[in-house]
Structures are given as C-alpha cells and as structure tokens.
Amino acid sequence: MMSNMCVDATTRAAFDLGFTCTVIHDACAAASLEFNGVKVPSDKVHASFMAALGAVYAEMITTEEFNVHSAL
C-alpha cells in the first residue's frame, strides 16, 4: 500500500465519514518523489504522510502491535 496514495486518501475519507481509523504504519511504504526540483527520498515521504495522519486522523501502530492485539 502506498502511504502517499491509497493509505492517505482512504484514512482521511474514512475519518471524514466518522470511522475510527488505525494505520499499521510499517505495513505500507512510499516511493521517492520530486517537487519543484526537490527530490524527497521514499523514507521521508512515508514518514511525512504517517506523521500527518497520526496527528489527526488515525492511531498509528506497528504490525507487532496489531498481531498482539488481534491475538487477544
């Protein structure tokens, strides 16, 4: 799943529709991007989108946290 495409759009839309959202941040990734001559490495793209989503729209968890929670 692309952090800066499907994950971002889906999480924001779900939040706007009243859903409580959780993103498993280490189960998605991003590609490197370029804007106005500035090259942004993939890890920075991913971190930026996860930070923005985690600030307002979703609880951010790891795959390990998800596995522990779902085993209960």
pLDDT digits (tens, 9 = 90+) for 2-29: 999 999 999 999 999 999 999 999 999 9
Q: Is residue 72 part of a domain?
A: no
Residue type, 32: S
pLDDT digits (tens, 9 = 90+) for 31-55: 999 999 999 999 999 999 999 999 9
Number of domains in the chain: 1
pTM of the shown model = 0.89
Q: What single string gives the DSSP state of each residue in 28-61?
A: -B---EEETTEEE-HHHHHHHHHHHHHHHTEEEE
- Domain-located, residue 8: yes
Tell me, yes or no, whether 71 lies in a domain: no
Domain range for 39 is 3-66
